[in-house]
């Protein structure tokens, strides 16, 4: 949540028992000494650091460290006869909350917030400025999979969209006096129509932002019911260094709804496996399976009906599509074979792929290539096989995953998400909503 750590500034994957550099942080210590995406780190401090049993934790323990300290690595690079030595001085490495921002169509800007770290608000404003310069006049904020983080950045982002004196959030508990948070009217995004994407893993700060915009009739919400995490906890430290977190209050969004999903005393298992139970009950596949309790009925500022009971229920429901998820797909993804093949392909064809310097150009080129057949051979060589009739439902997803991972290595995160989400039904619905409703639930003028 601090937004940075001490390290050498690379992202990596363990590929065939070696450390494979998938990207190098721009302006970071590794880029400064000439490390490249596609390099394989073979030695650390002149000792072999490869082989079976190597874990990501092992790698991070050796490569991370205090700012200003040195680490020497030996790198295998395709086309070089010997290992290349690099001595890298560790530095503060930023951890970004905004994973992607790009333009969709003529004037829709897309921003994906992965978590709410300390710098999330600033990163969000920078993303908005970049999209504004590209001619974007509407925004889609993607909070899917965002399990939360710090509360203040979420409140600050909500404030950007609201006129003055709008309630954003309040907290209240049995022995905790109610505290209200209001908008100040100085937000820079008040003119933007906005859609927010959520799913069953959007939690805590994600729900605060989503609920504040929905209850103020400031955004349409698209997706599935969010997680339902809305407790205020106070950490009480002890002399031995341990601590206990005590729940002292709950979060409430402007309509009076409590974000926190209910807990029935003694029903620990039901509470713990809530998402699985939603799937088994059919809720993730059909809005009609959500049980609305009339006593938990509330109204937004503009009089729209919304419901409490845990989480944020979207205005437009998009079901979870599991048709392509086969056991074979779970194996090739879970074992890192899709990304491993993609990164290997990118390295072996790097010179040829340099000509395709945008996500759209690269996608058009890769669409004409047969990536599936060599991938099936790659997976089979690593003992993951399957009959074609069982594999075929997953082929479109594998093609998408390979293309997007190649794009990530060559062009970065924005390109990855552009290709990974090509054809995504939830994003497609968001675009449909925001384009058809140019005045998306705008806040009424005071």
CB 134 within 8 A of CB 169: no
H/E segment holding residue 113: strand 108-113
Which candidate in 23, 30, 204, 339 is catalytic?
Answer: 204
Give 353-362's long-range contacts (Cβ < 8 A, gap of 24+). Answer: 353/406, 353/410, 354/410, 356/410, 357/411, 358/411, 358/415, 359/102, 359/407, 359/411, 359/414, 359/415, 359/418, 359/419, 360/418, 362/403, 362/406, 362/407, 362/410, 362/411, 362/415, 362/419
Which candidate in 97, 217, 226, 229 is catalytic?
Answer: 229
Is position 286 annotated as part of the catalytic site? Answer: no
Is position 229 annotated as part of the catalytic site? Answer: yes
CB 121 within 8 A of CB 150: no
Which candidate in 115, 215, 414, 424 is catalytic?
Answer: 215
Ramachandran sector of residue 16 (left: φ over 0; alpha: ψ -120 to 50; beta: rest): left
Buried b / exposed e over 156-189, threshold 16 CB at 10 Å, is: bbbbbbbbeebbbbbbeeeeeeeeebebeeebeb
Distance CA 365, CA 343 (A): 16
Q: Which 3 state secondary structure label does DSSP give 398?
A: helix
H/E segment holding residue 11: strand 10-15
Specify the pairing of strand 18-24 against strand 10-15: antiparallel
Catalytic residue numbers read 204, 215, 229
């Amino acid at each position: 949540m601090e937004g940075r750590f001490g390290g050498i500034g690379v992202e990596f994957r363990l590929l065939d028992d070696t450390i494979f550099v998938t990207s190098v942080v721009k302006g970071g210590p590794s880029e400064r000494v000439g490390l490249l995406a596609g390099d394989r780190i073979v030695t650390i401090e002149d000792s072999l650091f490869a082989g079976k049993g190597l874990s990501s934790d092992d790698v991070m323990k050796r490569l991370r460290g205090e700012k200003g300290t040195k680490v020497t690595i030996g790198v295998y690079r395709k086309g070089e006869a010997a290992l290349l030595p690099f001595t890298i001085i560790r530095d503060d490495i930023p951890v970004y909350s905004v994973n992607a921002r790009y333009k969709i169509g003529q004037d829709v800007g897309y921003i994906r917030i992965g978590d709410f770290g300390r710098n999330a608000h600033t990163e969000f404003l920078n993303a908005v400025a970049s999209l504004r310069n590209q001619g974007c006049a509407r925004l889609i904020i993607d909070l899917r999979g965002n399990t939360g983080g710090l509360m203040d950045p979420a409140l600050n982002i909500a404030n950007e969209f609201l006129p003055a004196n709008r309630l954003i959030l309040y907290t209240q508990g049995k022995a905790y006096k109610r505290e209200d948070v209001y908008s100040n009217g100085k937000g820079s995004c008040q003119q933007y129509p906005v859609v927010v994407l959520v799913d069953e893993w959007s939690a805590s700060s994600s729900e605060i932002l989503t609920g504040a915009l929905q209850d103020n009739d400031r955004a349409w919400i698209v997706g599935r019911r969010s997680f339902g995490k809305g407790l205020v906890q106070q950490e009480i430290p002890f002399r031995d260094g341990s601590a206990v977190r005590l729940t002292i209050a709950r979060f409430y969004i402007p309509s009076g709804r409590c974000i926190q999903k209910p807990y029935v005393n003694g029903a620990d298992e039901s509470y713990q496996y809530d998402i699985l139970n939603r799937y088994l009950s059919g809720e993730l596949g059909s809005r009609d399976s959500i049980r609305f309790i009339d006593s938990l009925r509330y109204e937004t500022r503009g009089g729209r009906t919304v419901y409490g009971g845990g989480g944020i229920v979207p205005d437009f429901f998009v079901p979870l599509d599991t048709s392509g998820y086969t056991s074979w797909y779970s194996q090739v993804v879970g074992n890192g074979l899709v990304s491993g093949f993609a990164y290997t392909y990118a390295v072996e064809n790097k010179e040829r792929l340099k000509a395709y310097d945008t996500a759209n150009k690269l996608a058009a080129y890769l669409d004409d290539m047969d990536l599936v057949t060599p991938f099936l051979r790659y997976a089979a060589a690593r003992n993951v096989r399957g009959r074609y009739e069982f594999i075929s439902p997953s082929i479109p997803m594998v093609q998408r995953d390979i293309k997007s991972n190649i794009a990530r290595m060559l062009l970065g995160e924005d390109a990855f998400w552009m290709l990974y989400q090509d054809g995504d039904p939830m994003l497609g619905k968001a675009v449909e909503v925001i384009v058809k409703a140019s005045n998306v639930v705008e806040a009424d003028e005071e």
